[in-house]
Structure formats: C-alpha cells, structure tokens
Amino acid sequence: MANRKQGAQKSPNFISTLLRGNRNLNATKLAASIRTNTNKVRQRLQPVVKYLINQKRFVLVLLLLLCFSLVTFSAIVPRNHIFEGSVTVQEMDFTYNGKQTKRFLESIRGISNLESEGIQTVTFTGNFKSESLPQLNQLNFLKVELTNRKSKLILAPENLKSSSEIDLKSLQLQPNTKVTELNYDFFRQQLALSLQRLSTAAPDNKSNTLEIYLGEKPIKVTLEGYKFPELNLQTPPGEQTRIEFIYNPDNKQFHLDMTQKNSLYITISKPQNFESQKWFRGKIETQNVQFQRSDRNGDIRDELDVSTIVSGKIRMAGEEKEIQKNQFLMGENPNIPLNIQLIRNIEIISKKGLEVRFSGTDKQITIGLDKDFPVIRIQRSWLDGVLPRDAIVALFSFAAATVANLVPWLLSNSSKSQSKP
C-alpha cells in the first residue's frame, strides 16, 4: 500500500516535468525559427536598400509623382459635404428620425373644424345630447372605436357663428413616424397632414398624440365608420351611418392617440397673421425628405411624380444655386431623396406655401424639371473641405502639369538603367 501511494505521488510530478520540458522545447524552436526568418528577410532587403541608395534621384522623383498624383485625385474624387437650403413648397413628406418624442405642432388657436381620419379608439366623458340616438342622453361615459381607414371623427363648436374656443395644444411625434401630404390650403384655411409609424419602429406601443383644449362651450361631434363596444343598443347603427351629438366635456383637455395611419385636417376660423404665428417646432431630425407628390389617374403604372417646389435656394461647399418653380431637388441618384438630416424650421408664408429651412450631407446635389435630366449640379471634391476653390484649381493645375512631366522622365531613366550592364 505504501508503494502504491508513493507511485501515485510521483506520477503527477513526472507529468508536469514532462509538459514543462515540452514548453521549453517549443519556445526554443520558435525563437530559432524567428531568428532564421529575420536573417533571410534582411538578406533579401540588402540589395534593394543598396539599389535605392544608388538611385536617390529616381526614388525622390517617384515619391513626388505619388504625392502629386494623390493631390490630383483629391481634387477630382467627390466626397460628402454639408449643405443648407431653404425652399417654399406646396406640399412635403418626411420621416422623423429622432430618438425621443418630438413636439411637432403647437398653439393653433380658434379651430372651427378638426377632423381625424383612420382607425383609433376615443373616450368621451361628460354629458351627451343626440336626437338620432337618444340612448346617449343618459350616459356620462362613451367609448368609440373608429373601425377603418375611412372612419372619421369631427370636432366643431356647436354654434359656428360664435368664436371657437377649440385649440390645438400640441402634436407629439414618436420616433420613426412618417409625415406625408403636409400642406396648407389658403382658400379653406386648412392645415392637413397624415401620420404613420413605420413597421421598423421599436415595439414600445407608444402612439403619436394630439392634445386639444375644448374650451367652455358645447362641442358638436360627428362620427363616421364607428361602433360603440360598451353600449348595448337594441338597434345598433351601421358602421357607415353618420351620427352627430352635442358633447359637454367634464375634462377640457382632450387626447387623441394615433397608433396607425391617421390623417388630420385642421380648419381655422379666422385668417391668420402667419408672421406672428409659430405653429411648427424646429430642429426636426429627418430622413427621406421629399418635396414632391404622386399624380395618379387610377393606374399605378402610370404614376407621375410632380414637384411641389415654388422657389428656393441651396448652398454646398461655397456654391449656391437657385431652385425655380416645379424643379426637382435631388441627390446623386434621382430615385433616392437628397440626404436632408435636419429640418431647422417650417413656417407658413402667406399665399405661397410652407417655407422649409434644412441642412444635411451628400456627395452631389442635382436640380432640374426632369428627374432623369438635371440641368444644375453641385459636386465637390475632398480638397473642397480644406482649401478655397481658387487654391484647389491652382494646385490641381500645378500637380497635373508636374505629373505629366515626371512620368516621361521616369520612363526614360528606367529604360536607361535597365540597358546598363
């Protein structure tokens, strides 16, 4: 038994000694291999170093040729540059690309008619008066489901002749919300837009929210395409039947949560002094900004893009261009929108449209009446972000001339050196 215990103790010591010896042996072989390869590389490089020492002028000229070639290419090859511009448009689309909830609209006062179209759920608390549906007169709570894309909820003062107290306090946009058909109709005095959270948005269940102040006067509510899920009606109205009722709210603050595609039509009771009205909040992080609309005649294959630009100008890398009416503003690819990353401000210009000030980065800006055949182009090189344009032209001319003279010299000297024994 004692011999067996001694053998068990010696066996691990023997194995560890063997492994240590193998590690030492591998390290010795690795060091010897590195030393051998280093000597071989040094021997191979010695003739090259001697040749370069003997050909100092040739190497110097070659380095100069490389440097001037890089300068020449830097003056030609385009790169992204910051641009800024301002356009007046009749209609526009964009996608909100921020990370946090963004206040988009605020302080729209004296609304004579507010219409929301699309699928949503609305809750009313207060007193109701309806001639077409007397069951509502006994309620103090009413839940309404708008069931389809064409469903409508319309809020208006009961007495249209009196001044309206309905105000829009704010419209909050969630990240990755697409805003389309944003426009202002001066004849109707109506601001219109559509909202839709894209499918790529994070599943946080947050919705775009409209906050309204209803005022102290009774409100006329009109519904189309609806149902009352918690109201047991003996003869429930059809979903497409239009219904109206008078609503005296308990809470003057009214919220609309829009989780799907919804359209808003906000009609103002009196002409506005737009110079003093600030309805839109600025500094909106964006992507896919477009100043155009699609003209359809019923056939999708015959869809035509129409520019909504009235006038404008844009500037990039020291060059500024005017944008005329009905011209398209595009990037390098006419099928991809110009990379506008920030809308700095939106303002309504009387009798003209929406003035939009923006900025972004792109390689190229193109302008034209036809998207496939632009007549104006702004494109700048790598050096445009470092040197003035006149200095770049002079440097490019000098570099190109130097390269043109150095290449023949190198070729001739290279052939002479090869012909020598």
Per-residue pLDDT tens digits for 288-339: 999 998 877 655 556 788 999 999 999 988 888 999 999 999 988 888 889 9
Q: Percentage of residues in the chain with pLDDT exceeding 70?
A: 65
> Is 250 exposed, middle or buried, given 0-12, 13-18 or 19+ CB atoms closer than 10 A?
exposed
Helix (H) or strand (E) holding 405: helix 389-419
DSSP 283-325: -EEEEEEE-EEEE-SS-GGG-EEEE-EEEEEEEETTEEEEE-T
List, in order, residues 6 or more apart from 103 with CB less than 8 Å away. Answer: 170, 171, 172, 173, 281
pTM across the whole model: 0.73
- Separation between Cα atoms, residue 147 and residue 124, nearest integer Å: 17
Strand, coil or helix: what is 148? Answer: coil
- Cβ contact 192:364 at 8 Å: no
- Cβ contact 371:328 at 8 Å: yes
Higher pLDDT, 75 or 377: 377
- Separation between Cα atoms, residue 313 and residue 318, nearest integer Å: 13
Give the total residue count for the chain: 421
> Is 226 exposed, middle or buried, given 0-12, 13-18 or 19+ CB atoms closer than 10 A?
buried
Asked whether the predicted pLDDT for residue 382 surpasses 90, the reply is no
Chain centroid to Cα 113, Å, comes to 31
Arithmetic mean of pLDDT over the chain: 77
134: tokens are 């007397």
The conformation of residue 174, written as its DSSP 8-state character, comes to P
Q: For residues 292, 298, 303 and 304, what is the CA-based torsion angle, rounded to 10 degrees? A: -50
pLDDT on residue 235: 46
Chain centroid to Cα 137, Å, comes to 48
- Separation between Cα atoms, residue 127 and residue 214, nearest integer Å: 14
